[in-house]
Amino acid sequence: MSPPNTIAVALGTRPEIIKLAPIIRLLGDRARVVHTGQHYDESLSKVFFDAFELSEPTHRLEIGGETRATQIGEATTRIGLYLAEQPAAALVAQGDTNTTVGAALAANATGTPLIHIEAGLRSFDRRMPEEHNRVVTDVLSDLCCAPTEVSRQNLLDGGIPAERIAVTGNTVVEAVQTLLPTERGPHLERHAVAPGGYLLATFHRPENVDDPETLGVILRELADLELPTILPMHPRTRARVESFGLGTLLGKLRVIEPVGFQEFLALSAECAALVSDSGGVQEEVSVLKRPVLVVRRSTERPEVIGTFAERVLPGPDIGRIVGGWLADLPALHARLATIPSPYGEGDAAARSVEAINRLLDGGPE
């Protein structure tokens, strides 16, 4: 039986580990980490526990490699069983993954108060599975920790009472501040690039990598960019490149294995620009002061569009926009350096834990 002040923390993917790590560290001995194994590749999981110096998860479920429906069902069932056997004062979930919504359903089924970190994000694109996950989780949550006023308004517009919402900022800020290497030269030397002399790209979303024509267009556009492009290859993307027979399109790209968060931050901080479909990258660049071209139909992070980010669909706009950035790169970098991150100054974990404590103490939000 868990102690009465135990807080279960459910996670299963790289972004969840990164963003929940500052909260887990502040909770200390109160935290019991349940790892679903949604990201089961060690390059997307264990390396981040090591980087944040977190203890091994208290409980592992290993639901990775299954369909979305199976992952959600298994996460709900297994987290529910865990909470029944090891009751917790509350359960914390983050973001919009299958793990997140499974944890939310399990908390609801067991009568465990639910805290949603990074609540209120909306793409308003029902084609995104993540949109359904985050909406369901918000509705079920007893406390929605919204990163910005935009996300708070989304929650209010969706019928979430104001007393269940706390604007906390986003823990990505302190995660980046904590782990960004001060000595970045060795990371650049490892990849034979100079500061500002390369681009960094990441792609993994189904809308981009599950269609051979779309993936081919993206790879061709990256290959034609003026500067060399480093492409850490997500396991999902690598599998699609191989199954679609697109390997020849990688010849002009610097394809590398997924890297640790610290190395990725070092490469991001010193690159000319990024091209990505990652939500986390859109947030990280606001701390690192680098531009990112978001290649997606929609984004749930409008706070950075027009400042640190621009959004396009796969096609020639990739080369056009990045080319425009490169034409006056020093001025662009200088301008971004003056813009504060919309996600706070690095105290989101403390503000989230304070809100959790108020909830559990029965005080007003």
- Sketch out the chain's domains with CATH numbers: 7-171+346-361 (3.40.50.2000), 179-337 (3.40.50.2000)
- How many whole angstroms separate alpha carbon 266 and alpha carbon 288? 9
Bridge-based pairing state of the strands 143-146 and 114-117: parallel
Q: Are 224 and 193 in contact (CB under 8 A)?
A: no
Q: Identify the pLDDT of residue 364.
A: 44
Predicted local distance difference test score (pLDDT) of residue 365: 42
Q: What angle do CA 300, 305, 308 make, to 5 degrees?
A: 120
Cα–Cα distance, 203 to 97 (Å, whole number) = 17
Pairing of strands 114-117, 31-35: unpaired
User: What averages of pLDDT result for each successive group of 10 residues across the chain (365 residues)?
Assistant: 83 91 95 82 63 83 84 95 96 97 98 98 95 98 98 98 98 95 96 97 96 98 97 94 97 93 95 97 98 97 98 98 97 98 97 98 61
- Show the CA angle centred on residue 174, arms to residues 171 and 176, nearest 5°: 105
Catalytic residues: 204
Question: DSSP letter at 118?
Answer: T
